[in-house]
């Protein structure tokens, strides 16, 4: 379900989510890897996670698995 939802995202959204959460990079590392400003990583993540949440909800994911909180920068 998660992979299907990720595939609905734009490439730039999928990349920032993948680098940040699937590869476990910090926001600074994600920014460096994608050659974009750290602020762009933060804003793109916020929008991307919102879109991902909507896609998962539409696919029938349980509401308690779609918490709106975000992991820290680590």
CA distance 2 to 30: 21
The residue extents of the domains of the chain are: 2-57
Region 2-57: CATH code:
1.10.10.10
pLDDT in tens, 2-59: 899 999 999 999 999 999 999 999 999 999 999 999 999 999 999 999 999 999 998 8
C-alpha 70: how far from chain center: 10
**34 within 8 A of 19, measured Cβ to Cβ:** yes
CB contact set of 27 (below 8 Å; sequence gap of 6+): 20, 38, 41, 42, 45, 73
């Amino acid at each position: 379900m998660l992979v299907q939802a990720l595939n609905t995202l734009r490439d730039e959204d999928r990349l920032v989510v993948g680098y940040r959460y699937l590869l476990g990079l910090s926001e600074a590392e994600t920014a460096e890897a994608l050659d974009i400003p750290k602020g762009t990583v933060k804003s793109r993540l916020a929008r991307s996670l919102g879109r991902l949440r909507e896609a998962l909800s539409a696919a029938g994911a349980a509401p308690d698995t779609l918490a709106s909180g975000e992991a820290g920068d680590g």
